[in-house]
Amino acid sequence: MRACSEAPASPGRRRLLRALSLLPAVAWLGRPLPAPASPPRLAVTLHGAAGPRRLDAEVARSRAERGRGLMGRDRLAEGAGMLFLYPARQPARNGFWMYRTRIPLDIAFIDAEGRIVDIRRMTPCRAERAADCPVTRPDAPYRAALEVNAGYFAAHDIAIGDCVSWPGDGAECGAR
């Protein structure tokens, strides 16, 4: 703020100050933008009929991360997935869509005790509008969801009722 006793800035001085304020932006021109931060990862263990199986899962905790999910990916590595964590139990009416998701996926919906309450197959949606994509909903409320490559759960004998654990979740899969 300018004190009352100061004289107003001349038009030439204002142009100079405006030009100087743009210097930081000009300095960035031509430089690559920083890469977005990689999502955090967790070792997720699926406790199925064939014994425990580990996955390297990206974690989506925030609303923005969960909304973005695996959009725009051309592939998901074998033995990888994305774990969607929620701060509270989600009703069965809340589901997942495949808008702008290019790869077929399986999704396991997981309750607060770490048990899989439903498994569904999801196919890519090529619609121009998100509202035109189907929503995949579970048959029961859930607290987390795990997306993997389509066919992964069946290939590794992972089924409804099996347990899923990750560091810090509190599930006691090994004790059951």
d(CA 98, CA 116): 21
- pLDDT (tens digit, 9 = 90+) per residue, 110-134? 999 999 999 999 999 999 999 999 9
The overall longest dimension of the chain from CA atoms, in Å, is 82
In the chain, which stretches have pLDDT less than 50?
A: 1-6, 20, 22-30, 32-35, 176
Instruction: Note the pTM of the prediction, 2 decimals.
Output: 0.77
For 36-47, the pLDDT digits (tens) are 566 789 999 999
What are the structure tokens assigned to 39, written together? 């999502």
Asked whether 87 and 134 are in contact (CB, 8 A), the reply is: no
Q: Are strands 80-90 and 96-97 parallel, antiparallel or unpaired?
A: unpaired
The domains located in the chain, with CATH, are 41-169 (2.60.120.1140)
